[in-house]
Amino acid sequence: MELGPYLILASLEGAVTAAVLALTAVGLSLVFGVMRVVNIAHGEFFMLGAVIAWWVAHITGGHPAIGFALALIVAPVLVGVIAVAADMTILKRLDYDPERTIVATIGLLYIIQQLTLMTYGPEARPVEAPFNTRLAIPWFKNGEDGWQMIWPWGLGTTSYKLAVIGAAVTVLLGVWALMKRTRIGLVMRATQADREMALAFGIPVERVYAMVFGLGAALAALAAVLIVPIQQAHYLMGGDPLLLSFIVVIIGGLGSLPGTVLAAVLIGLSDGIISVFFSPTLAKILATLLVGLVLVFRPQGLLGKRGV
Amino acid sequence: MLVLDKISSGYGRAQILRDLSLTVRSGEILCLLGRNGAGKTTTMQTIMGLLPLMSGRIALDGKDIGSLSAHRVPQAGIGYVPQGRRLFTGLSVAQNLEIGLLARHSGPDTLEEVLTLFPRLRERYRQRAETLSGGEQQMLATARALCLRPKALLLDEPTEGLQPSMIEAIRQVIVQMRAAGVAILLVEQRVDAVLSVADRVAFIENGQGGEVIEAETLRQDHSIVERYIGV
């Protein structure tokens, strides 16, 4: 058995995990960075995205691509609206106090989870991928006729998985452009730098907060829509993305978007490779160990700045 | 003209200001003098709406601004240069100024005027705010407030920790703003710096307003200052 093809397969699986994780974690990081709110309910926004995607695809019928394309828009928007409502009715009334918002978002987690259980039910339901062509993984082998391309038996990925990676990269570039190149991004970064001074220079901080919270939740929902043809929608599916997002955000540096993406790629790829060659449990153990090491030796994270 | 009419304010339940009244006329520099903890910075934060107004009234050119939410206060025309500068770190000089311009939709001509006042900022235009020297940072903090085309300007210890040439540069700009008809409220620790620039001096003690005296009188008779400040 050759190692090479398996390594490519593992890396591809890891890249899919990394892509979805990066989107989810960037949402969490954005909310923490700008609002200083630790959103425990972030995983539930992810789950809602998946459930809404199933629901949209189920109602639409017809070719799976139509329902999926619709879900790609409806789920993030709807989840974003729910998050904005949660921000205005709950977080704003707590004055965005760091401790109380943690407790409040824990409450939000259970409310969303149980409401989903009561309405959607305990089943895991699949959403059909819009396209799903099987692609064999090529490998080069030096045989009797010199180098030739072979397709090792049983190793393959799908066009959909490659599309997930592409979509995540596109969205992340979009978020980067939003933060660095637009006026809204400038206002968001000013609010992140100094909330009081933002107010003193006419920035409607409460509106910025509501928008950021909605955007963060929408990113999680979008990630879930992308993953649901691979993973199925279930009311408890928010736990893992929440834990992994926290791991990624801590390793990358709280509030640092490039750090978050870097850590997501690191954790995602290592998760894929270790899962394929050893076991998924070992992958989680190593990721958690890495968090411990980062917290001890580089508390500000890989790309984070030292706090004031 | 900026009028504070018997304002009370504080942090949470701790009241700091008690029925403080002040009037800053357009085209004058009123200096607020008082010991540490007397409520000078609190006064400025209350005007900006960053601390809740418990009672009293704040008006700018006759328009009530005490009841506005915090982000509306600068939009009404108040520029704030806070203690410790508090620039938007991570943002460039240009972006810090852009935030100032956005507040009152000031045009590029305002930016041009401000950069003419502080040519040093033009040289540092693309640099990040936190990489500037202390004096340059103070220039940026002042310039950012001027980008609002303010009717009233609040300056909280603008010359703290600066070298003399920088102090002079900042002072020049303040005097120019006075000539342009801006109402200027200045908090300053160093009495000599105050007396060289102020038109009137208001004393504040334990959150309550004291005497308001023409600066000219104080220049001739230092003993009044010593009574309040205890130097």
Contact A201 B99 (CB under 8 A): yes
Beta-carbon count within 10 A of A80 CB: 23
Contact B99 A190 (CB under 8 A): yes
What residues in A contact B95, CB-CB < 8 Å? 186, 189-190
Averaged pLDDT for residues B77-106: 96
ipTM attached to this prediction: 0.94
Residue B142 has pLDDT above 60, yes or no: yes
In chain B, the residue whose alpha carbon lies closest to the alpha carbon of A206 is B71
- Per-residue pLDDT band for B222 (boundaries 50, 70, 90) equals confident
Averaged pLDDT for residues A247-258: 90
- Domains in chain B: boundaries: 2-86+152-229
From A183, A193, A204, residue closest to B91, measured CB to CB: A193
Name the E strands within A111-225: 134-136, 139-143, 146-150, 156-158
3 state SS of B156: strand
Contact B71 A204 (CB under 8 A): yes
Cα distances from A60 to residues A50, A164, A253, B103, in angstroms, run 15, 22, 41, 45
Dihedral angle of Cα A154, A158, A164, A170, to the nearest 10 degrees: 110
Contact A201 B103 (CB under 8 A): yes
DSSP letter, residue A94? G
What pLDDT digit, counting tens, does each position of A156-183 carry? 889 999 999 999 999 999 999 999 999 9
Contact between residue A158 and residue A134 where contact means Cβ atoms under 8 Å apart: yes
What pLDDT digit, counting tens, does each position of A74-86 carry? 999 999 999 999 9
Residue A66 has pLDDT above 90, yes or no: yes
Give pLDDT, residue B228: 74
Contact between residue A209 and residue A96 where contact means Cβ atoms under 8 Å apart: yes
pTM of the model: 0.92
Structural class in CATH, domain B2-86+152-229: alpha beta
Residue A308 has pLDDT above 60, yes or no: no
Q: Is B148 on the interface with A (CB under 8 A)?
A: yes
- Domains in chain A: boundaries: 16-237
Name which residue leads in pLDDT, B159 or B184: B184
Give pLDDT, residue B231: 52
Q: Is A186 on the interface with B (CB under 8 A)?
A: yes
Q: Is B105 on the interface with A (CB under 8 A)?
A: no
Q: Residue A38 and residue A96: Cα distance in Å, rounded?
A: 10
Contact between residue A122 and residue A229 where contact means Cβ atoms under 8 Å apart: no
Averaged pLDDT for residues A259-283: 91
Give pLDDT, residue A141: 76
Q: Residue B93 and residue B103: Cα distance in Å, rounded?
A: 16
Contact A202 B102 (CB under 8 A): yes
- Per-residue pLDDT band for A1 (boundaries 50, 70, 90) equals low
C-alpha Rg value of chain A to the nearest Å? 20
What residues in B contact A179, CB-CB < 8 Å? none
Q: Which of B81, B21, B10 is nearest to B209 (CA)?
A: B21
Contact B95 A186 (CB under 8 A): yes
Give pLDDT, residue A265: 95
Look at the alpha carbons of A66, A67, A72, A74 in this order and tell me if their dihedral is positive or negative. Answer: positive
